Amino acid sequence: MGEMAHKIEDKGFSYIDINMGCPVPKTMSTTQKIRLGIIGIGNMGSGHAGNIVSGKCPDFELCAVADINPARLEWAKTALPNAKTFSNAEEMLDSGLIEACMICVPH
């Protein structure tokens, strides 16, 4: 797990690997969608976002995205109008809008 994943856990968020079939953490209710944020809305992040908003991961609702690239944030505002955009991950994590976070940054 990378540095950002540790920061996310330190803030009390669940670490979810959405590539494992969109699992719902056992501590969360399955009667409501999990409010998800994505850090990094480039190639991988936008692909995951598309899967979520198209209903391929029905347990999740995309509520926020964060990226340091202004061009990607502008794209997100148009392509993902229901998700609030943030210019850095810390602001998104502190916003209270999300319950879980996906990290989609280059490694």
Q: Locate tokens 């899967």: which residue?
A: 51
Chain segment 31-67, per-residue pLDDT in tens: 689 999 999 999 999 999 999 999 999 999 999 999 9
> Which residues in 40-79 belong to E strands, given as ranges?
60-66
What mean pLDDT value characterizes the chain?
83
What per-residue confidence (pLDDT) applies to 20?
46
At 92, give phi and psi (nearest 5°). Answer: -65, -45
Q: What is the pLDDT of residue 30?
A: 57
Which pair of structure tokens corresponds to residue 75?
């794209």
Closest CA to 103 of 18, 39, 11, 44: 39
Over 70: is that where the pLDDT of 2 sits? no
Per-residue confidence (pLDDT) for residue 106, from 0 to 100: 86
Stated pTM of the model: 0.76
The rounded distance, in Å, linking the Cα atoms of 98 and 90 is 12
Question: Residue 72 pLDDT > 50, yes or no?
Answer: yes
